[in-house]
């Protein structure tokens, strides 16, 4: 969004501003050359209005009685407020970009506050669904300063809740990865004709145990030299690795 001098007062204003915030003149950056393209510009506005109306269906009493200049941005803002629950993530992201890039300076603060509230509402709605922390984080990450005191407090609560859900999800994913590794390792050993039983033990699956009736210190030595396997076990979050014959022999590594 470029800045140009106002044709009346000479102050720099947005090239997309409808009214100069300094002197109040309409179309402050319009010049003779631009006037010749007026028809094209009008057609563009009509097209954008039609697109906005089709996306958000703002026919039911959109309020454009503000003292600020009514424009297509207000249609988008009011339309989104009424259709918040039906907005897809891509539409919501595109909505934010359009409002922030095309809003006249005279309305920017009010629109920013409105968009922030919409984002907080979207994050709240997302957290009601299973796995919604991913979408909630996207909404929260898009929120920019400044925030009102009420919005800041609400953001902090949503961020804390989202972070907890993220941590829980990461923990569950890590546990499942360890259990999957145990299943795969057992299959690999069976494919080598070794009748083994491999388990990820504990509530958090942090102990990897292999049971094979012929295990001995010789096997323990071989496992100790298998640095690639040991690195993988450690990277997956296992705290202990144990081999046992199921009777009186056992060897354990602690990470």
Q: Please write the tens of the pLDDT for every residue from 68-88.
A: 434 555 555 555 555 544 556
Q: Are strands 250-254 and 3-5 parallel, antiparallel or unpaired?
A: unpaired
Model confidence at 29, in pLDDT bands (50, 70, 90)? confident
137 in a domain, yes or no? no
CA distance 223 to 253: 10
pLDDT per residue as tens digits for the range 196-255: 999 999 999 999 999 999 999 999 999 999 999 999 999 999 999 999 999 999 999 999
- The pLDDT, as a whole number, for residue 63 is 42
The reported pLDDT for the residue numbered 245 is: 96
Where in the sequence is the domain holding 200, given as residue range(s)? Answer: 173-254
Position 9 scores a pLDDT of 74
Which of the pair, 55 or 98, is modelled with greater confidence? 98
Number of domains the chain is built from:
1
CA distance 188 to 220: 18
Residue 35 · residue 18 · CB < 8 Å? no
pLDDT of residue 107: 56
Answer whether residue 76 is part of any domain.
Answer: no
Note whether residue 201 is domain-resident. Answer: yes
**pLDDT surpassing 80 at residue 97:** no
Q: How far apart are CA 211 and CA 61, in angstroms?
A: 72
d(C-alpha 122, C-alpha 147), whole Å: 16
Give the per-residue pLDDT at 232. Answer: 97
State the chain's mean pLDDT as an integer.
79
Choose between 81 and 122: higher pLDDT: 122
pLDDT at 241: 98
Question: Residue 138's pLDDT is what?
Answer: 92
Task: Answer yes or no: is 8 within a domain.
Answer: no
57 found inside a domain: no
The pTM for the full model equals: 0.56
Higher pLDDT, 3 or 129: 129
- Tell whether 15 is covered by a domain: no
Please check whether residue 200 lies inside any domain of the structure: yes
- pLDDT above 70: residue 189: yes
* Burial bucket for residue 195 (CB in 10 Å: 0-12, 13-18, 19+): exposed
Find all residues with CB under 8 Å of 58, minimum gap 6, and list them.
52, 75, 78, 79, 82
List the end-to-end C-alpha distance of the chain, in Å, as a whole number: 56
pLDDT-derived band of residue 46, with 50, 70 and 90 as boundaries? very low
Looking at residue 196, what is its pLDDT?
97
In a domain, 40, yes or no: no
With 0-12 / 13-18 / 19 or more C-beta atoms within 10 angstroms meaning exposed / middle / buried, residue 67 is exposed
Greatest Cα pair distance in the chain = 97
């Amino acid at each position: 969004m470029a800045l140009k001098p106002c044709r009346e007062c000479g102050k720099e204003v947005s090239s997309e501003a409808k009214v100069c915030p300094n002197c109040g003149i309409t179309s402050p950056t319009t010049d003779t050359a631009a006037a010749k393209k007026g028809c094209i510009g009008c057609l563009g506005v009509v097209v954008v209005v039609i697109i906005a109306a089709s996306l958000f269906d703002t026919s039911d009493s959109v309020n454009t009685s503000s003292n600020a200049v009514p424009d297509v941005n207000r249609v988008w803002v009011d339309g989104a407020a009424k259709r918040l629950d039906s907005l897809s993530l891509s539409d919501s992201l595109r909505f934010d970009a359009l409002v922030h890039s095309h809003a006249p300076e005279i309305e920017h603060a009010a629109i920013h506050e409105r968009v922030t509230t919409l984002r907080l509402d979207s994050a709240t709605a997302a957290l009601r669904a299973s796995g919604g922390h991913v979408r909630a984080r996207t909404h929260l990450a898009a929120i920019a300063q400044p925030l009102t005191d009420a919005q800041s407090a609400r953001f902090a609560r949503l961020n804390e809740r989202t972070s907890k859900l993220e941590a829980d999800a990461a923990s569950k994913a890590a546990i499942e990865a360890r259990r999957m590794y145990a299943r795969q390792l057992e299959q690999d050993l069976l494919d080598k004709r070794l009748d083994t039983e491999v388990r990820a033990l504990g509530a958090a699956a942090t102990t990897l145990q292999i049971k094979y009736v012929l295990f001995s210190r010789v096997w323990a030595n071989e496992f100790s030299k298998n640095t690639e396997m040991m690195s993988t076990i450690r990277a997956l979050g296992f705290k202990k690795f144990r081999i046992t014959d199921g009777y009186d022999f056992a060897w354990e590594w602690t990470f």
